[in-house]
Structure 1
């Protein structure tokens, strides 16, 4: 399992102990409204979810969910998912951060580190989708270099509110990443440190 380290974060495999803090931020209505999971996430369901995440393999096609841990106090800050396509040359990206940490650059730091890791591995393209009303998320994607490629009107049904929402489609090609990664704020160590 490859761990990704940045100046302030460690992106690592989930542990069962992450269940309670994960449920705490995922159950907040202003977080859940932008996500596809049903809410509230019960303590039992959170444990099952954390266990499922802990068993995923980042080297195989499918989803792998990184736990985003703050180095300062070793607390769970959020999570970041990578869906590796069967061709192993493309991936989808999604992320959630605890609201107390919004606006401090943590999500940007985590996304940049994972992008560096994926492009070093030889991926050709990374895609992301975003609820059109989630402006902070769309700004983050554009800030790290994603191009807005389209908009799907009333494409996603929110399981918690019953509301149909527009979805923004973003993409980033590996050929663009070297220039973007030269940004001083993008200097994250995206090399693996081995297992923990």
Structure 2
């Protein structure tokens, strides 16, 4: 569906269930996410089936499978939660641990943002991350997001209260030009 120099962002396929289960089962990947490790293959199959059936133009979550073009390898995902007004969305992402640190997540997020702003005409995209997840916060900032706030002890997850960082990106800031005027 979307391509970059090194990646293809596409709809999930049944064959992606094994790799989805593998990277979601990594304790370091699951640490700041809503799921627990291990992430069983049957659960991954159900998730892939649900993600493949979603419509990226309709409100709700749509997950792009991130594929490394050179290896035709599924290495992660980028999720978009389109708001009911179809002018705003929330974004999230996950990358297999062995693929982190090579700029793939930033490249994938930027491709999705480009599509959301240029093709779907969104006004704003937001993101949240656990305040301890410094790599995620840095990724958002590299992609152009502005830190807009801190919600102290906001989320109860995995037996503890966590602080959440809030980020936002406007179309005008992404392109550097006010395209609405």
What TM-score, normalized by structure 2, do the two folds share?
0.94
What is the deviation of 1:101? 1.0
Match of 1:78 among 51, 76, 87: 76
Distance, in Å, in 2 between the alignment partners of 1:67 and 1:131 is 23
Structure number with higher relative contact order (C-alpha < 8 Å, ≥ 6 residues apart): 1
2: CA distance, partners of 1:179 / 1:86 = 26
Partners of 1:47 and 1:111 lie apart in 2 by: 24
Q: Is contact 1:27-1:40 (8 Å) kept?
A: yes
Distance 1:5 1:167 in 2: 31
- Asked whether the equivalents of residues 59 and 83 of structure 2 are also in contact (C-alpha less than 8 Å), the reply is yes
Counterpart mapping for 1:50-69 below 5 A: 50-69=48-67
Mapping 1:7-156, distance limit 5 Å = 7-120=5-118, 121-156=120-155
Q: Is the 8 A contact 2:59 2:86 kept in 1?
A: yes
**Displacement of 1:165:** 1.1
The RMSD of aligned alpha carbons is 1.1
Structure 1 SS opposite 2:176: helix
Query: How many Å apart are 1:158 and its aligned residue?
Result: 2.2
Q: Which residue of 2 aligns with 1:178?
A: 175
Contact 1:27–1:41 (Cα < 8 Å) also in 2: yes
Structure 2 counterpart of 1:184: none
Segments of 5+ residues of structure 2 without an aligned counterpart are none
SS at match of 2:150: strand
- How many equivalent residue pairs? 176
Say whether the 8 Å CA contact 1:33–1:158 is kept in structure 2: no
Instruction: Give SS of 2:55's match.
Output: coil
Report the alpha carbon displacement of residue 82 of structure 1 after superposing the two structures with TM. Answer: 0.2
